[in-house]
Structure 1
Amino acid sequence: MNFRTPEFDRSDGPDQHGAISAWQRGATGNGVTIAVVDTGIDTASPEFAGRIHPNSRDVAGNRGIQQEDDHGTNVALVAAAARNNSGILGMAFDASVLVLRADRVGTCGTDTPEDTSLGCSFLDTDIATAIDVAISSQARVVNLSLGGARASRAMLDAVRRASQAGVVVVVAAGNGGEGDVADTDPNQPTGFASALRAAGGDNVIIVGSVNEGGTISGFSQRAGNEADWYLGARGERVCCVYENGQIFVGQDQDGSFRLLFSGTSFAAPQVAGAVALLAQAFPNLTGQQIVEILLSSARDAGDAGTDTTYGRGILDIASAFAPVGATTMAGGTAVVRVGVDSAVASAAMGDAFAGGQNLRGIVLDKYARAYEYDFGSRLRGAIPQYRLHAVLDSASRHVSAGNGETSLAFTIADPGSRPRDGWINQLRLSPEQAESARVLAARLALRIDPRTQIGLAMREGATGLVGQLQESSRPAFLIAGQANGDTGFERVSAMSLALRREVGAGVGLTLSAESGDAWLGNLHRGAAMARRERERFATRSFAVSADRAFGPLETVLGLTWLQEDRTVLGGYFDDSLGASGADNLFLDAGAAMDVAGEWTFGANVRQGYTRAHRGGLVAAGSNFASNAWSFDLSRRDTLRSGDSFGFRIAQPLRVTGGGINFAMPVSYDYATTSAGFGLRHLSLAPTGREVTGEMAWRGPLWWGEASASLFYRRQPGHYAAAPDDTGVALSWRRGF
């Protein structure tokens, strides 16, 4: 909705004090009553049509509420002039106005539109009566744009009753700031205002005037000893004086002009209108809390912090409407860290989060104020890995030895190498940083009887260990991975073991287990971001596979159960959403067959099913599927003895459909302090699909080992908008 209209532009206060932020939330004062204790009102003005409270009355006589002096009308205009595309716009333009005329009979009849000074007089007993009428009429705020040297016992008692009833009392600081008012200290609010503040305690705000630039008005009395309860608001050169329900436009030798008015009398209703906005938006707030919020959210002015000129600062409605303190999920106790990532996708989820998704829910701040928060705006995708640099920068060597019964293999970091981006955490042989060689991984395979083998590995996954026990022959590719064992996220193994037994008729049965960590696919919060490290969470897997050869055809079928303690297929979800891990089931099928002499064709397919653990906000139906595949054609001894050449095309694991259902709080009832819940579905399926093709050669060359690879990756990382990744990798190493 567009609030920046000519009517808004003519209004002094709403823009300066940030009222639009409240209006955009639907807070316009509707249903809230502002009591204006003053000189009556122009009952015929269209600015108040249909919004003058039926309990409005003349508490000082029986004249009715129709004004003789326009001071009360001008005060009411600042607080609540209608949004009707005419005249000006009040701070709380939909609020009801409880008009309590309290000027003494016969004291206001001489004022004209050109003279808006308050020449009327008031009796304390009449003001006290007006405050009691406001209490009984359930007004949320009483505006007192009047003052004096002191307040009577009757007045103070009425303010105490208002405070006890939760009514906010807003009182003008006084216009003696230039020292031209007898018996007035310009550096202190009026004695009347100070006395009311003392009687009403933390339900009272004293308001001084600032100009358009936020500087204290010369005529405004300062905060002084009441600085903790003093707030500045626009009260200088405020538009406009009305005549016959319309803005008064005069004529002189220079042309037309409008009359403006000034005084702390007109700063006070800016704050009274802000009280009405908060009271409507957050009906749970007490009067004391509303005062606390307005004072603590004020824009600092003058000396830093609370000072004796500006008190707490200048009215800032936008800040007053912002959540304060720790936010929690409505209907629960989970802390919501606003501005922190709601989720971090894994590589298998690709660009699923790129376009944002509807994941709106209700959160509460320290005052139990309800806010709609879009968790979908804080979804972070995995970083697509451009693998060439990582492969060539591995700086490690593979050393192996063994016989038919036992084999040992080590992956050792070259001297001076370092892990890249925190993905590898090496196992040091000694604590000294200058250690010349470091063991990154180790593997042991042992045949314990003619039909049984056992394998144990440290910092190496179970997939490679199982492949060794099954004696499967795989072509070596640098970039294009094999579908078997692809979990869709970076997983670092701590330990794995495997047991294979030949059970007859050429069938081998292998059991394996692995423990390790899932690395998040992107940097996440706090210290980890500062250190450029990805967080990691524990995982465990258990697998069974059967292999059998049918002549030249080798086949493998496998079933893997992967448990995640905190992640969901490698994706991270904030604690406030309640995601607490997942179970994954992977079905693997693989085959390799010798064709056309020395050529071997291989194929692997993996189908995954993931179920997120229910708990917190994670609801039933939080399941999704994924798959990966790879096909390759390879040949050994192509150019020379001991080399290999191959071509592979592969799709890394990718979520194909489904996601997580969150039972989000989508509404909040202040009357019952309870949340209403609805399902929000977060799709984890990307629009992109990575397909990688690679042609690779490896073999002995010049007393060393050489490799060459040419690859092409379409939509890397399953990001539809990602540029293609192409490259050539050449390497040569000499053993030691």
Structure 2
Amino acid sequence: MWAGGRTGAGVTVAVVDTGIDPDSPEFAGRLSPASKDIYGTRGVEGPDDHGTLVAMVAAAARDNTGILGMAWGSTVLAIRADEPNSCGGDNAADPTTDCAFTDTAIANSIDYAVANGAKVVNLSLGGPDPITSRLSAAVRRAVDSGVFMVVAAGNEGLPELEAFGRTMVDAGNGGLIIAGSVGESYIISDFSNRAGANPTYYLAARGERICCTYENGQLYVDADGFAYLFSGTSFAAPQIAGAAALLAQAFPNLTGRQITDILLRSAFDAGASGPDAVYGRGILDVFRAFQPLGATAIAGQTASLPLGDGTGVASTAMGDAFARVRLPTIVTDEYGRAFSTDLSGTLASAELQPRLYGALGQQVRSVAAGSERASMAFSIDARGRQGPRIAALRLSEEDAEQARVLAAQVAVQLSPRTELAMAYRQGADGLAAQLRDAERPAFMIAGTSRDTGMLEGTDAAFALRHRLGDWGLTVSGESGSTVTAASVRHAAEMRGRRVDEDVASLGLALDRRFGELDTALGLTWTAEDRTVLGARFHEGFGLEGSDTLFMDLDLGWRPADRWRLGASWRQGFTTLADAPLVGAGSRLASNAWALDLARTGAFAPNDTLALRLSQPLRVSGGGVNLLLPSDWSYETLSASYAEHRLDLTPSGRELIGELAWRGALWGGDAGASLFYRHQPGHFAGRPADHGVAFRWGRRF
């Protein structure tokens, strides 16, 4: 905390005690000129060192000698409140036993402290009697005005607080802490009164062997080289007061009640779990008190953004782009406290797609029927899992018991020139290709250029093709959802949020055959509900989704009988929807391509041998300009913003080479593949993925 400039500077700590040594160098330049004797006749310097020592624990200077106060930059308002002629001055371990403080003097001191700008009031005093209504009212006024108060628990070693402490807690009404004492091993001190039946506002701090005695403003060391150390809850209290002063400086919006709540919630839980009769809420933990508590959000935004969550996960088109970004910003916690953080560590790169498992990991049966004007086809899960009956398909009872529809399509010829296809769990691109009789070799690993760059599931799709002379015009569309990566999915489920987001597309394509050359040119508009080319960001960013325009070119040429050359290219342009944290120029460019060479009848009359080299969709340029808070004003409770570029271009480039064969074998259908993936998932540092795959199936 000190390294961050949190010293208590600008915060006044009132020490209501036996006065102070005004000549001590520990308070040079930081002793409030309003310091006084509440009785008005004796001066601020008292008959003993108790008030001075308490003030030192809270605020002694950082001067490389003696004690260092918790809030060493704060201003000390010393208020001498001991009853005249009540102090013996015998310099005992806890000299307050020799001094008397009336409720009226304490009440007047509290009122005086508030009137002179004190944010923190330390009372290292107490007694066996309950407080009067006069003192209770003064405590209530102070807390209601935003002041934090701390009171020593007392040194009688009792299992319960004395009446003074109990009634002070009641009067404090959430803005006052009772301070108990622990030693260097964090065990409750023998002399410290315990929390007992009042653990809610009890907090322990170091109160044993606290430095030191001073003479003439210098640390006193005896002839044998020893310094005297003091113990008592009187010295635990000013540590808590100093911590409160640090919080008040760092977060000037906090009230005394909020400071109280923060110190208690962030305490180290000692003793029995939770609030207990010995340690109350635990032991002071200043470091944790300076960490965000409760729900956090980007400063100025309303949607929560827990720092323990992943704040974003890239899509497959972005690969390792998130590994290089920085996202410095300001977040606020439940108390409106502003914290600087870098969200880049909470961004996750895309998960590597298990392409081989996707090609081999399913057991599927196909059911098809058709005529000249209509056709139907279904892909059915044949793993024997219990699924819904599909009576409309007229499957046998046995098949229906074990079948589950994975995908289905229906194609109907509406007129001699018009065809319509509809599908379930199948994309519109495949439907459109079928309607125009496009030839596409079958590969297990290498995909076509029609890759969308995201993990996507299609619910329903359609394609309508109409022939216009030698041309074909196809309108297609689909709806589905983007699938969230596991790391973000778990966090979303824990908050009861959706784990996928809607995506829909609409396409228009022209195709024509020129002799042995097939051509197709298409445009596809894709609208994502909350994702950006498949990348998901935490709802705390307030992003509103994106739109992508894909341009597609497909070419197929037959240079000779049984040979085919194919090429395809996709170019994408993505624009983010307007949102409060999205800056101008937030757009992406992406592309994918594939080159094919195929021969039919390579080893048998109806088999196919094909070679493909392809690149899955990859962001080739652009990014997101995020307007993130760079500073926070506690005066206006508003943020200043700076633009941060989130570059979404990966450093790697995945290239896939695959040699694939498909044909009849041993009375069934078989497929084999030899493949190599360079920089899988567009990760520059990821080792190559290569292997051999074989698939065979036969219906019995």
CA distance in 2 between counterparts of 1:670 and 1:362 reads 13
**1:363–1:373 CA contact under 8 A, matched in 2:** no
Alignment-derived partner of residue 626 in structure 1: 590
**Mapping for residues 185-200 of structure 1, pairs under 5 Å:** 186-200=158-172
Q: 1:459 to 1:312 in 2, by over 3 A?
A: closer
**1:107–1:119 CA contact under 8 A, matched in 2:** no
Alignment-derived partner of residue 176 in structure 1: 156
Corresponding residue to 1:86 among 55, 58, 65: 65
Alignment-derived partner of residue 11 in structure 1: none
**Mapping for residues 134-173 of structure 1, pairs under 5 Å:** 134-150=113-129, 155-173=135-153
CA distance in 2 between counterparts of 1:174 and 1:142 reads 17
Is 1:376 paired with 2:347?
no
**1:489–1:521 CA contact under 8 A, matched in 2:** no
Alignment-derived partner of residue 57 in structure 1: 36
Is 1:429 paired with 2:390?
yes
CA distance in 1 between counterparts of 2:106 and 2:80 reads 9
CA distance in 2 between counterparts of 1:449 and 1:286 reads 77
Question: Is the partner of 1:275 in helix, strand or coil?
Answer: helix
Alignment-derived partner of residue 272 in structure 1: 241
Alignment-derived partner of residue 291 in structure 2: 322
- Larger deviation, residues 397-406 vs 434-443: 397-406
Question: Is the partner of 2:317 in helix, strand or coil?
Answer: helix
CA distance in 1 between counterparts of 2:199 and 2:163 reads 14
CA distance in 2 between counterparts of 1:714 and 1:661 reads 30
**2:94–2:232 CA contact under 8 A, matched in 1:** no
Question: Is the partner of 2:522 in helix, strand or coil?
Answer: strand
How big is the shift at 1:524? 2.9
CA distance in 2 between counterparts of 1:512 and 1:681 reads 35
Question: Is the partner of 1:443 in helix, strand or coil?
Answer: strand
**Mapping for residues 100-499 of structure 1, pairs under 5 Å:** 100-103=79-82, 111=90, 117-118=95-96, 121-124=99-102, 125-150=104-129, 155-177=135-157, 186-252=158-224, 256-365=225-334, 367-402=335-370, 405-416=373-384, 429=390, 435-483=401-449, 485-499=450-464
Q: 1:34 to 1:446 in 2, by over 3 A?
A: same
Q: 1:417 to 1:267 in 2, by over 3 A?
A: same
| Unaligned 5+ runs, structure 1 | 1-21, 178-185, 419-425
Alignment-derived partner of residue 604 in structure 1: 568
CA distance in 1 between counterparts of 2:516 and 2:465 reads 21
CA distance in 1 between counterparts of 2:24 and 2:463 reads 88
Alignment-derived partner of residue 725 in structure 1: 689
Question: Is the partner of 2:520 in helix, strand or coil?
Answer: strand
Q: 1:387 to 1:203 in 2, by over 3 A?
A: closer
State the one-letter code of the partner of 1:165.
S
**1:663–1:677 CA contact under 8 A, matched in 2:** yes
CA distance in 2 between counterparts of 1:321 and 1:433 reads 63
How big is the shift at 1:403? 5.5
State the one-letter code of the partner of 1:387.
R
Question: Is the partner of 1:489 in helix, strand or coil?
Answer: coil
**2:124–2:235 CA contact under 8 A, matched in 1:** yes
CA distance in 2 between counterparts of 1:432 and 1:146 reads 85
Is 1:564 paired with 2:528?
yes
**2:310–2:487 CA contact under 8 A, matched in 1:** no
Question: Is the partner of 1:580 in helix, strand or coil?
Answer: coil
State the one-letter code of the partner of 1:577.
F
Alignment-derived partner of residue 19 in structure 1: none
**1:401–1:408 CA contact under 8 A, matched in 2:** yes
State the one-letter code of the partner of 1:409.
A
Is 1:668 paired with 2:647?
no
Q: 1:61 to 1:512 in 2, by over 3 A?
A: closer
State the one-letter code of the partner of 2:390.
L
Question: Is the partner of 2:550 in helix, strand or coil?
Answer: strand
- Larger deviation, residues 446-455 vs 271-280: 446-455
Q: 1:142 to 1:550 in 2, by over 3 A?
A: same
**2:385–2:402 CA contact under 8 A, matched in 1:** no
1:602-632 superposed Cα distances (whole Å, 9 cap, x missing partner): 1111000111222353343321111101111
CA distance in 1 between counterparts of 2:171 and 2:405 reads 76
Alignment-derived partner of residue 547 in structure 1: 511
| Aligned residues between the structures | 691
Structure 2 length-normalised TM: 0.91
CA distance in 2 between counterparts of 1:468 and 1:87 reads 87
**2:298–2:329 CA contact under 8 A, matched in 1:** no
Q: 1:34 to 1:388 in 2, by over 3 A?
A: same
Q: 1:229 to 1:413 in 2, by over 3 A?
A: closer
How big is the shift at 1:727? 0.6
State the one-letter code of the partner of 1:370.
A
Corresponding residue to 1:537 among 501, 505, 511: 501
Q: 1:96 to 1:428 in 2, by over 3 A?
A: farther
**1:360–1:376 CA contact under 8 A, matched in 2:** no
How big is the shift at 1:212? 1.8
Question: Is the partner of 1:382 in helix, strand or coil?
Answer: coil
CA distance in 2 between counterparts of 1:169 and 1:415 reads 69
State the one-letter code of the partner of 2:607.
D
Corresponding residue to 2:669 among 691, 698, 705: 705
- Larger deviation, residues 216-225 vs 652-661: 216-225
Question: Is the partner of 1:354 in helix, strand or coil?
Answer: helix
How big is the shift at 1:235? 0.9
1:386-416 superposed Cα distances (whole Å, 9 cap, x missing partner): 3112211221244545455444333233242
Alignment-derived partner of residue 8 in structure 1: none
**2:328–2:340 CA contact under 8 A, matched in 1:** no
Question: Is the partner of 1:549 in helix, strand or coil?
Answer: strand
